[in-house]
Chains A and B, each alone.
Chain A
Amino acid sequence: MIRVRQGDDDAFREIVAKYHARVHTFLRHMLGNEQSAEDLTQETFLRMHRSRVRYRARCRFGSWLFTIANNLALNRLRDEFGSARMPLPTTESGSLPMTHSTPRASPPEPVDRGMERAEVVATVRAALNALNENQRAAIVLSKFEEMSYEEIGKVLDLSPQAVKSLINRAKVRLKTLLAGVLDMIQPRPIEGNEEYFDD
């Protein structure tokens, strides 16, 4: 980013190559709309490039970039739905292309083979869309960007404690919304606490 600040176009291309898919994924989940996500991904990089002089090395670049993306997403949601506080419409269920740009553990297979994977994806997406925009952003940043509560707080302009509450509420809400499909997932040992898993 230091090189980008100095006007190095090749360095900028490297940043786009590294972050394009991640920003696009974030916006895709925030907006629930592929076309809007593509538009805003480009807009995010345009704004980042125009504000490059203002970037400070002490600020984590990812947090800065996702702050821009999140703000653009909130504006778009307000333009389209009047209020970004509202959940997204759950009618859209078009599946995302199943191409992973970054290595990630394979999603677990549903226990109930009778339910198609596409159905599970649609159900989970509908549940995610039912969250308000802050909850949705926190979950997506935590899950897909593996950001810490502190980093998420920087993006959303919240304290780590507020992020803690936000993510907790979001997960409780998702638990309720996904109650019908929770049993499809095989229980696994509790992370960091394997010795106590006995149910």
Chain B
Amino acid sequence: MTDTPAFPEEDKRSEAPSGDQPTESAPEWLTAFLDGETSGQEKQNAKKALQESSDIRRVAQEIQRVEDLLDFLPLTGSPRAKIGETAGLVLEQSSSQPVVVEGDHSLEERADLSKRTEVPLTRFDPIYEATSLWPKRVRGWLIAVLLGALGAGLVLPGWRSFEDNRAKELGKIRGVVDNFQILHDSGDLDFLRAIDVPELFGQPESIVSQ
């Protein structure tokens, strides 16, 4: 065993081993190298490690043996009849079902379609929007009309009350103007009160006598 070759920082957990300890697990870079997934410096480092470490070579050979054992698993063949049958069935079934359009990921989403998947579909799919947006607009208009009616019901009585009060006030002012000379001559506060609220104090004697 010699020096540990330098490997990129991010691959520390799979650095080539050093010392004489046997390597039981394979580092990631070694598996990647054997899969042809390394290039450049990483590939050179892997070659160097294999050259310098018998442990690394042993592990590499074990991994290759695993690969060779996987070759025992047979590929399956597909008889021409089976292929034709599948294609025919698919075309037949597919013709009776709608073609999935843009925005619908239901056939490709991660397995297990859950609520979490369905929510984005209803939110972003133009088809779902087309069917769900109009009821929302109608509902909005209905709410606006109801609010308007409710507002009118609350405002109209208040407006009537305001108009009545204003007429009363105008009446009082008119009375004051009409009787200005009398008020000016009297200098009597009680008289003024009587003018202001005649139903409470009654018609003052002085005015009646005039």
Chain A residues within 8 Å of B, Cβ to Cβ: 9, 12-13, 16-17, 20-21, 24-25, 28-29, 37, 41-42, 45-47, 49-54, 64, 67-68, 70-75, 78, 84, 95-102, 104-105, 107-108, 117, 120-121, 124-125, 128, 139, 142-144, 148-149, 157, 164-165, 167-168, 171-172, 174-175, 178, 181-182, 185, 187-188, 190-193, 196-199
Contact = CB atoms under 8 A, between A and B. Distances in A.
A165 to B, nearest CB: 6
Given A100-B75, A168-B26, A139 B70 contact: yes
Contact of A178 (B61, B66, B94): B66
Interface residues of B, number: 62
Contacts of B172: none
A199 B73 contact: no
Nearest to B30: A168
Contacts of B71: 104-105, 107-108, 143
**7 tightest A-B CB contacts, nearest first:** A99-B77, A74-B111, A21-B78, A107-B71, A185-B65, A20-B78, A16-B87
A62 to B, nearest CB: 14
Interface in B90-138: 90-91, 93-94, 97-102, 104, 107-112
Interface string B21-34: 00001111001111
Contacts of A50: 94, 97-100, 107
B164 interface: no
11 contacts: A12-B90, A17-B80, A45-B90, A46-B94, A51-B107, A67-B108, A75-B111, A120-B72, A164-B32, A167-B32, A175-B66
A74 B66 CA distance: 25
Name which of A165, A172, A182 has the most chain B CB atoms within 10 A of its CB: A172
B184 interface: no
Contact of B61 (A29, A99, A120, A187): A187
B47 interface: yes
A124 B70 contact: yes
B7 to A, nearest CB: 13
Contacts of A102: 75
B144 interface: no
A9 to B, nearest CB: 6
Nearest to B34: A191
A178 B70 CA distance: 10
A29 B73 contact: yes
A61 to B, nearest CB: 13
Interface stretch (B52-60, B154-162, B199-207): B52-60
A53 B35 contact: no
Given A53-B102, A167-B31, 19 more contacts: A17-B87, A21-B77, A45-B86, A46-B93, A49-B91, A50-B100, A53-B101, A73-B111, A96-B76, A97-B74, A120-B69, A124-B73, A148-B37, A168-B28, A168-B32, A178-B66, A182-B62, A187-B64, A192-B36
Given A71-B110, A182-B66, A187-B61, A167 B77 contact: no
A121 B28 contact: no
B112 A171 contact: no
B67 to A, nearest CB: 7
A23 to B, nearest CB: 9
A104 B75 contact: yes
A148 B68 CA distance: 18
A66 to B, nearest CB: 11
A124 B69 contact: yes
